[in-house]
Each structure stands twice: as structure tokens, then as C-alpha cells.
Structure 1
């Protein structure tokens, strides 16, 4: 791997994502796929299974939240600084259905000092807008890529 000082912001985002992915068993076990990552952005997808359905026969909201939260995590950790969620909220617009392939796209809205705000839009395979998530993060000690 190149030294950190020789890496582009995109290379830093990709290396940070690889580091974060290695320990993220929740995202992996739910069958999520990291589709893209860049400085302050991330896109993750997941297929809704029968095990993710609720009593109404639609996707349980907790799985939608988890998908959005994972995209948020990869976006806010994309600059080689450990970041954790401080506050998150979600608005559900349409139900997810068993078999739907959902995509969560996270975008950085603001990053000031140790705080960041990210918006995540969840859509299905038909482009329908299912949910909108806003996450606030706070950086903590630690980096994903060694400084040396």
C-alpha cells in the first residue's frame, strides 16, 4: 500500500472502507454489498429476504435503518478518521417488499471540526424512494490507515 501522504482522497476512502469492512460482521452477515465509496459518500445495497419481513409482510423498519446506518458509517469513516454515530433518524415513505434489492446512498451534508451530518436515501430496484435517513457523527481517536 502507498504511504498515506501519497494517497489521493479517493484512495484514502477506499482503504478506509476496506479496513472498516473487515470488522463489520453485521453488514456482511445481512448480505449487504458495498457498491461504491468516495470522500464523504458511500453506496450499499441489500436484498430483502423473508427473514426480514414483519407481521404486515413487508420489510421490518429496523432492516431499512440498518442498511442506511451502514451506508452512513462508510461515508463518515471515508477520510481515515474513526467516526461513530451521535444521532440518527429515519422517515419511512414506502414499504420494502421481500425480494426487493434496496440501495442506500449516503452523502455528506456538512463536516465541521469533529462533527458531520450525512443524508442517506434508500431506493428499491425500480427507483422508488422508500426512506430518508439523517445521521450525525462524531470523530473519535484512531485512524483506519496507519500514518507511516
Structure 2
């Protein structure tokens, strides 16, 4: 059985902690992450840097994929930037399952701002790392 609260804590560590992204909701096949934006997230024209958006997409997709109790690594990501994330205070990423296979899984990710404007849409593919036991977030 998966301890989703413990998994959320694990997902908010390491590199992700430095970005400001937080996993706020997690259940099987679904994840929601948020980032409060500040000047470190901006590009030279004042929009949120595309790398920040892709990091959010990869993070929320990976969280949803990991919600099935298996560690994953990103195989590919296809992102469409729909509009600039300008004058935003917060971005929200939501990921939903498209396909779960034996070795790979695919997730649909939508990024919106605090006013529910669609900022980016992505499809992320992850590979299961079965040789690494996902015991860190499993209930006993």
C-alpha cells in the first residue's frame, strides 16, 4: 500500500526543493504541483522561463507516474507552450494517466496560472526502474 503523504514529502526534496515546486496532491495516476513565482523564475523579457515550465511538467508527470508505487525515469517529453506565463503569481501543474504499460507509462500534463489560464500542455513518457525497490513510500 502506498503512503501518499510520505511520497509527497519525498517528491518535494532534492533539486525540486530548490525550484520552489511543491507536490500538493497525489493519488494513484494523478498528481498536482504548484510553484509560487518570483524573480529567479523569469527570463530576460519578464516571462516565466520555459525551463521552469518544463521542470514543472516533468515533476508533476513523474509524481503521477510514481504514484503507482514504482520509481520512474523520464524517457521523453513533448511540451507545447500555449501562452507566455507573464504577470503570474503561481503556476499549477496537473497530470493524468494516459497509458500504463509493463515497462513504460504516459501522462498528460496541463499547466495553468492562478487565473486558470492554460500556459502549457505536455505529454510525458516514463520508464519503470524495477531494479530499484520503491519501499521508501510504501506502508508497512
Q: Partner of 2:11 in structure 1?
A: 21
Q: Which whole-Å deviations, capped at 9, do the CAs of 1:107-126 have from their partners, x for residues lacking one? A: 11000111100011000000
Task: Give RMSD over aligned pairs.
Answer: 1.9
**5+ long unaligned stretches in structure 1:** 1-6
Q: Which range moves more in the overlay, 33-42 or 123-132?
A: 33-42
Specify the SS of the correspondent of 2:135. coil
**TM-score, length-scaled by structure 2:** 0.88
Q: Which whole-Å deviations, capped at 9, do the CAs of 1:25-84 have from their partners, x for residues lacking one? A: 121112222110011110000012111111211011000000111101111111111111
Q: Partner of 2:135 in structure 1?
A: 145
* Larger Rg belongs to: 1
Is this contact kept in 2: 1:123–1:131, CA < 8 A? yes
Q: Which runs of 4+ in 1 moved over 6 A?
A: none
Is this contact kept in 2: 1:49–1:99, CA < 8 A? no
1:122 aligned residue (85, 100, 111):
111
**5+ long unaligned stretches in structure 2:** none
How many pairs does the alignment contain?
Answer: 137
